[in-house]
Amino acid sequence: MSQSERVSTLLKTMTVDEKIAQLYGVWLGYTEGGVVAPEMDTSADSAPEFGDIAANGISQLTRVFGTKPVLPAKGLATLIGYQKWIRDHTRLRIGILAHEECLTGLAAWTATTFPTPLAWAATFDPGLTYEMGAAIGQSMAAIGVHQGLAPVLDVVRDARWGRVEETMGEDPYVIATLGKGYVEGLQSQGIIATLKHYAGYSNSRAGRNLAPVHAGPREIEDVFLPPFEVAVLDAHVRSVMPAYVEIDGIPVHADHHLLTEVLRERWGFEGTVVSDYFGVAFLMKEHGIASTLDQAAVASLVAGLDVELPTGDAFRAPGFAQAAAEDPIVAQALDTAVERVLNQKEALGLLDIDAEIERLERLLADVPETLDPPAHRDVASRLAAESIILLDNDGLLPVAPRAGLRVAVVGPNADRGAALFGCYSFVNHVLMHNPGVDPVIAAPTIMEAITAEYPDAIVTYAQGCTVRDMDTSGIPEAVAAAASADVVVAVVGDQAGLFGKGTSGEGCDVDSLELPGVQSELLEALLATGTPLVLVPVTGRPYAIGRFSDRAAATIQAFFPGEEGGAALAGVISGRINPSGHLPVSVPRTLGVLPYSYLHPKLGDPSGVSSIDTTPQFSFGHGQSYTSFDYTDFTAPKQVPTNGWIEASVTVNNTGDRDGTTLVQVYGRDLAASVTRPLRQLLAYARVEVAAGGSRPVTLRIPAARFGFHDASMRRVVEPGDVQVWIGWDCDHAATPIAEVGLTGPTAPITNDTPRLAEVVFD
C-alpha cells in the first residue's frame, strides 16, 4: 500500500476526536524545568497524566530530553514507555513524534554545544554549517528524536532585540545560504528541520520581544521571506513554525496569506506547520482576535496551521471538536492538517508502531553515555575558530607565547563557562533553572584557555565586576592586575538567558547599546592604566563599543562561541589561529540609529538634511586578518540578459607572510529601478584560503535574479537597466574598481524555477 493509500484509508476510519489528537503535543514534566517559553507559567495546563490526555492518541511529545536534566538512556527509556502506552491503549496505534530544541546543538544534557547562530554567520561558511547540522542530527537520531526546532531565519533590524543572538545577521542572502546548509545537514540524518520564525518577527517595534510588527508588503517579500523561500524550495525543509507577532494587525498564527497562499500555494510546501509554543492560545490571550480557545484553534487551523505546540491548550478545547463536527470548512481543514501529519509520520515510520518501538529499543541498547563525541567537538572547534572576528588591531596582536610574559585576564566573562553559550544552549536554557547540576560537557573558560595557551607566562585573573550588577568594588583589583601586566585581555559582554534572567536572549531586550552593568566603568579604569588592552566582547548582540575600541590596542568580537570558544579566542590572541570571521551585523556607533540595516536606500544614508550620522562603527562584512590580501584582475561582463548570470572573476592575492582566509564579498547596486533599492547589497560571497605570498583565482556566478525585487505592482521581477558590481572589503569599502553591467532584454519574472543562489568556481 502506497503512502497516500495508507493515509487515505486511515483517515476514513478516524473519529473527529482521533483526528484532533494528531494535531497537538503534550509536555510532561515541564513544571520541573523552569520557565523556558513565553508566559509558560500562565499559559500551560497543569501537568496532565499521560493516559488522561492520550486516550485518542497524541501528535507530538515536547522536549523529553530538553525540559530538565535527563541522561540519554533515561530519556530514551521514557520515550519508549510513551510509545508502548500508545501501542497498548489506543485504537489506531499511531506513534508519537518527539521534538527537541536544537539551535546551538541538541538542547539536552551531555550534548555538544555549538556556537550560537550569529557566530555561524560570522564564519560565512555554509559547508561547515552543514557539518554542524549533520552532527546535531546524529545526536538526535541516536536518542530517538524525530524533529528539531531550528534554524532561526529572522533578519536582524534592531540590535536591541534580545533574540539577535539566535539569528544569522542582517543580510537575507547570508541567512538563506547558511540556513540551507543547516537544514540539509540536519535532514541528512532523518531529522525534520523546523524553520522559525515565519516571518517578520525580528522587525518588532522598539526591538521588544513579541511586540507588533509594522512592515510593508514589499519589505516582507524582499527582506523577510527570501531565507524561508530558499529553505523550502532549495533545502526542501519539512516543517515551518509561524512567528508570535502580528503584522499590521494580523497575527501570523492566523494569517492565511502567509501560511497558505505563500507557503503552500506559491512555494508548494508539503510539510507541517507547527505553532510556536502557546502561539495558538495567544490568539485569544495576547492578540485578541478570538474570545475563546476553541475560536483561536479554528482561526489557526483554517489559516493553515497543522499542529499546536507544546500542548493542546486550544485544540483540546471542547468547542473545537464541535466546530469540526458541524462546520464543513473546519472539517475540511481538519482533514487536510491530519493528512499532512500522517504523511509525515508514515515517512518517519511512526505508523508502524511495533517497528518503531523495536527501533528505539535497539538504540537504547547502544545509547551513548555522552552526546558530545570528539567528532562533534571538532566541528564545534572549527566553527568557533572561523567565527572569531578581529575588528581592530594596532599591531599588538598576535601576542606570541613566551616565558615571563605577564598577562592579566580580567572581566565578567573571562572565567565563566556559561558566558560562552547562547540562550538556547542547555546550560543557559535549562541548567540555569537547575543550579548545582554539572553541565557535564567540557567547556574551558577563556581564562583557562589562555592559561593553557601560554604555559610559560604569568597569567593573573580578576573579575572586576559581574555582567549586569552595579557593584564596582572589584574594579580596583582588576586595575592592579592590569597595571602590573604586559598586556591585559578584557573579556566583557553578555549573559544569555530567558525573559529577563540574562542580558541577551529571548525576552532579554534592552533600551541601550552600552555594555551592561558597570562594564563601561571597568574598561575606562583598565584603559587608564596605559597597559596595552585587548578588548574581547563575548556577546549576543553588537554593542556600541567605539569609545573603547578606539583606544584599545586590539578588539576581538565573539558571538557566544560555544564549548570550544575559549580555546578559539586564546588561539586568535596567540596567533595559533589566523582570524577569518567577518561581521554578519553592523556594529552601530550609537543606539540612536536603530533600527538599522546596511540594506537601505539613499535616503537612509547620512546626509546634510539630518544631524544623525548612521555610519556604523564597524560595517557589515568587516573582519581583519594577521596577513594581508589584495584583489586583482577583477572582471564582470558588460551585458547579461535579465534572466542570465553575471560572472564576476577576481584573483585573490595573499600579500602577507602567513597563510590565511579572506572573504570575497561581491556587492551590487541597481542604478535606477521602478522602486527604491538599496545603495549596496551582497550578491554573493566565498571564503578563499590562500597561502602566504600566493594567489588564487575565483569566479562567482551570480544569477541576475539577485537584482530582483517586487515592483510597484508587486510583481517580482528583474528589470532591464544598468547595475554596478564590485568586490568590497565590507559593505562600505570597495576593494576593486566598480564594474557597470547592463541587464538586457525584457523584464524577467522571478518564479520558483528561477535560480536563487550564486555558484563559486575556483579556477
For 649-677, the pLDDT digits (tens) are 999 999 999 999 999 999 999 999 999 99
| Residue 70 and residue 153 share a domain | yes
Residue 151 has pLDDT above 70, yes or no: yes
| Residue 392 and residue 312 share a domain | no
The confidence score (pLDDT) of residue 30 equals: 66
Q: For 476-532, where are the E strands, in sequence order?
A: 487-493
Per the prediction, the chain carries an average pLDDT of 95
| Residue 420 and residue 329 share a domain | no
The confidence score (pLDDT) of residue 311 equals: 93
Q: Check if the beta carbon of residue 346 is closer than 8 Å to that of residue 3.
A: yes
Please compute the mean of the pLDDT values over residues 609-636 and round it to a whole number: 96
For 60-116, the pLDDT digits (tens) are 999 999 999 999 999 999 999 999 999 999 999 999 999 999 999 999 999 999 999
Instruction: State the amino acid at position 344 in one-letter form.
Output: Q
| Residue 291 and residue 403 share a domain | no
Where is the domain boundary, 365, 399, 433?
365
Q: Is 611 part of any domain?
A: no
Q: Is 620 part of any domain?
A: no
DSSP for residue 737: P
CATH number at residue 190: 3.20.20.300
CATH number at residue 707: 2.60.40.10
Q: Considering only CA atoms, which of 520, 573, 572 is closest in space to residue 549?
A: 520
Q: Is 609 part of any domain?
A: no
Higher model confidence: residue 32 or residue 508? 508
| Residue 409 and residue 325 share a domain | no
| Residue 757 and residue 717 share a domain | yes
d(CA 262, CA 256): 9
Q: Is 624 part of any domain?
A: no
Pull the grid cell for residue 498: 530567558
Q: Check if the beta carbon of residue 388 is closer than 8 Å to that of residue 556.
A: yes
Q: Check if the beta carbon of residue 619 is closer than 8 Å to that of residue 730.
A: yes
Q: Name the one residue in this structure whose C-alpha cell is 554545544.
A: 113
Instruction: Using DSSP, state whether 25 is helix, strand or coil.
Output: strand
d(CA 600, CA 592): 16
Q: Is 326 part of any domain?
A: yes
Pull the grid cell for residue 691: 597561502
d(CA 680, CA 420): 33
**Alpha helix ranges (H) inside 587-684:** none
| Residue 324 and residue 205 share a domain | yes
Residue 3 has pLDDT above 90, yes or no: no
| Residue 696 and residue 570 share a domain | no
Pull the grid cell for residue 228: 524561508
d(CA 694, CA 171): 31
CATH number at residue 491: 3.40.50.1700
> Which whole-number Å values give the CA distances from 1 to 8, 283, 615, in the listed order?
10, 40, 63
SS (H, E, C) 88-129: HHCCCCCCCEEEEECECECCCCCECCCCCHHHHHHHCCHHHH
- Torsion sign over Cα 402, 407, 413, 417: positive
Q: Is 529 part of any domain?
A: yes
What total of structural domains would you count in the chain? 3
Residue 45 has pLDDT above 60, yes or no: no
Please compute the mean of the pLDDT values over residues 456-466 and round it to a whole number: 98
Q: Is 618 part of any domain?
A: no
- List phi, psi (to 5°) of 23: -120, 15
Stated as kind and residue range, the H or E segment containing 447 is helix 446-453
Q: Name the one residue in this structure whose C-alpha cell is 589584495.
A: 630
Confidence of residue 1 (pLDDT cuts 50, 70, 90): very low
| Residue 559 and residue 460 share a domain | yes
Least reliable range by pLDDT among 397-406, 426-435, 685-694 = 426-435
Q: Considering only CA atoms, which of 106, 288, 263 is closest in space to residue 198?
A: 263
**Alpha helix ranges (H) inside 535-622:** 546-549, 565-574
| Residue 427 and residue 491 share a domain | yes
737-758 b/e (C-beta count within 10 Å ≥ 16 → b): eebebebeeeebebeeebbbbb
Q: What is the residue-wise DSSP string for 336-397?
A: HHHHHHHHHHHHHTTTSHHHHHHHHHHHHHT--S-B--HHHHHHHHHHHHHH-EEEEESS--
Q: Range of 637's domain?
A: 629-762
> Which whole-number Å values give the CA distances from 192 to 135, 167, 344, 368, in the listed order?
14, 19, 9, 22
The confidence score (pLDDT) of residue 32 equals: 63
Q: Considering only CA atoms, which of 668, 92, 573, 730 is closest in space to residue 351?
A: 92
Q: Is 613 part of any domain?
A: no
279 Cβ contact list (under 8 Å, min separation 6): 242, 244, 253, 300, 308, 309
Beta bridge partners of 25: 60
DSSP for residue 565: H
Q: Check if the beta carbon of residue 680 is closer than 8 Å to that of residue 669.
A: yes
Instruction: State the amino acid at position 661 in one-letter form.
Output: T
| Residue 671 and residue 530 share a domain | no
Instruction: Using DSSP, state whether 679 is helix, strand or coil.
Output: coil
Q: Considering only CA atoms, which of 344, 322, 350, 336 is closest in space to residue 11?
A: 336
**Alpha helix ranges (H) inside 631-748:** none
d(CA 727, CA 225): 26
Q: What is the residue-wise DSSP string for 654-668?
A: E-SSS-EEEEEEEEE
